[in-house]
Structure 1
Amino acid sequence: MYLADEAWPELEEYFAEESLALVPLGSTEQHGPHLPESTDHTIAEAFAREAAERTGFLCTPTVNVGVSPHHRQFPGTMWVDPPEFRDYVESFTRNLAYHGIDRVVFVNAHGGNVQHLREVGRRVRDDGTAYAVEWMWDESIPELVDEVFEQNGPHGGPKETAMMQYLDGEHVHDDRLEAARDGGVASVADADTVKHGSRTFYDAIDNTDNGVLGDQTDATAEKGERLFEAASDQLVQLCEWLDDQRFEDLLPKDRV
């Protein structure tokens, strides 16, 4: 069920019977010269809608702009500052709780959002409002990602490229894959910006001239579909597990 497509009587029925919602979150930021800036939010929404379709749980509209100031040097990147992002996400999470939702899965596809979603989850859990947990698709199937790609890369690499070839191939520039690889670096380690245990970089451009980390030349839509199906299975299982828990068991333990 997609919240924005429903009228309030149908949503009233859902809230009377169910207490779980999926919230997709991503970013609007550079993903190299070959991928659209919609990459992260397109992927997040696809997973959330797929899991909602399979389970019947509620999917909310997508948060399309995230914490992305580290990509700001590349044209078109949009971002919000971390405090405003946390406050916004916390506010609408409490709004969902007002309607009867007490467990939320943040279906997240942008690494820059992770620590802030975790902080929001702690806030609403600590005061007993809801249990909110962050989920990222590639972290749910790490062995498969490593199996499928020679160099999977953390940003604009083959895993995101394959996923977008599958979900929205029209906006992938397949003719730029080799140039994207050659103008970027394989990994942060290859960028040589970790010095004596310190990460000396703050922005993506400190590591890679074109914003790419990884070798995307072995990405295909077929590989993207395989990853999508496997990670969707993991998200469905997470939702079903979370739905089975007693809410009291999800709250903080008593002080020792």
Structure 2
Amino acid sequence: MYLGDEAWPDLETYFDSESLALVPLGSTEQHGPHLPEATDHLIAEAFAREVADRTGYLCTPTVNIGVSGHHRQFHGTMWVEPPAFRSYMESLTRNLTAHGIDRVIYVNAHGGNVPHLREVGARLRQDEVAYAIEWMWDESIPDLVDELFEQNGPHGGPKETSMIQFLEPTLVHDDRLQDARDEGVPSVDDAETVKHGSRTFYDAADNTDNGVLGDQTDASAQKGRDLFEAASDQLVALCEWLDAQPFEDLLPRDHV
């Protein structure tokens, strides 16, 4: 069920009987010369809507702009500062609790959001308001990602390229895949910005001139389909697990 499609009287039954919501999040930021700036939030929304359709759980509208200041050197990247993002996400989640939601899955497709969502979730749990956890599709299926790609790249690489080739093929510049590979770097290790155990980089531009890593020519829509189906199964399983937990078991333990 997608919240934005429903009239308010028709949501009463859901809130009377269910307490779980899916909140898709991503970013609007550069993903190299071949992928749209919408890449992350397109992926997040696709997963959340697919799983909401399969399970009947509620999917909220997508948060399209996240913590992306480290991509600011590239045209069109949009971002909010981390404190503003954390405040917004906490407020949004507390809004859901006003309707009876007490467990939330942040269906997140942008790595820059992760530590801030974790902080928000920890605060809400400590206040015993809600149990909110962050989920990233590629981290749910690491073996399949490694099986499909020799060099998957942490940003704008073949796994994200494959996903957009499957979900939104008209938005992929397939004629630029070779240039994306040749003008980028295979991995952070190859960028040689880790010095004596220290991460000396802060921005994406410190590692890669064109904004991406990995071998984009290894991508395909079929691989994207395989990734989407496998990760969707994982998200369905997570929803079912979370829904089955007594709320009191999700709260912080008492002091020893």
Normalised by the shorter chain, which TM-score bucket? over 0.9
- Who is 1:131 aligned against? 131
- Who is 2:6 aligned against? 6
Residues 183-209 of structure 1: CA deviation (Å, up to 9, x unaligned): 100000000000011000000000000
Q: CA deviation at 1:9?
A: 1.1
Name the CA distance, whole Å, in 2 between partners of 1:129 and 1:10. 25
SS at match of 1:66: coil
CA RMSD of aligned residues (A): 0.4
**Count of aligned pairs:** 256
Name the CA distance, whole Å, in 1 between partners of 2:198 and 2:218. 32
- Who is 1:70 aligned against? 70
Please state if 1:105 is matched with 2:105: yes
Name the CA distance, whole Å, in 1 between partners of 2:191 and 2:171. 28
Q: CA deviation at 1:13?
A: 1.1
Q: CA deviation at 1:128?
A: 0.5
Name the CA distance, whole Å, in 1 between partners of 2:196 and 2:74. 28
Residues 120-141 of structure 1: CA deviation (Å, up to 9, x unaligned): 0001100110000000000000
Q: Which runs of 4+ in 1 moved over 3 A?
A: none
Please state if 1:144 is matched with 2:123: no
TM-score w.r.t. structure 2 length?
1.00
- Who is 1:27 aligned against? 27
SS at match of 2:24: strand
- Who is 2:86 aligned against? 86
- Who is 2:115 aligned against? 115
Name the CA distance, whole Å, in 1 between partners of 2:53 and 2:169. 22
SS at match of 2:135: strand
Please state if 1:38 is matched with 2:13: no
TM-score w.r.t. structure 1 length?
1.00
SS at match of 2:32: coil
Gaps of 5+ in 2: none
How is 1:159-238 mapped onto 2 (pairs within 5 angstroms)?
159-238=159-238
Residues 39-68 of structure 1: CA deviation (Å, up to 9, x unaligned): 000000000000100000000000000000
Name the CA distance, whole Å, in 1 between partners of 2:27 and 2:149. 24
SS at match of 2:240: helix
How is 1:37-56 mapped onto 2 (pairs within 5 angstroms)?
37-56=37-56
Amino acid at match of 2:181: R
- Who is 1:155 aligned against? 155
Q: CA deviation at 1:216?
A: 1.0
Q: CA deviation at 1:20?
A: 0.1
- Who is 1:250 aligned against? 250
Name the CA distance, whole Å, in 2 between partners of 1:129 and 1:95. 11
- How many percent identity over aligned positions? 79
Residues 187-235 of structure 1: CA deviation (Å, up to 9, x unaligned): 0000000001100000000000000111110100000000000000000
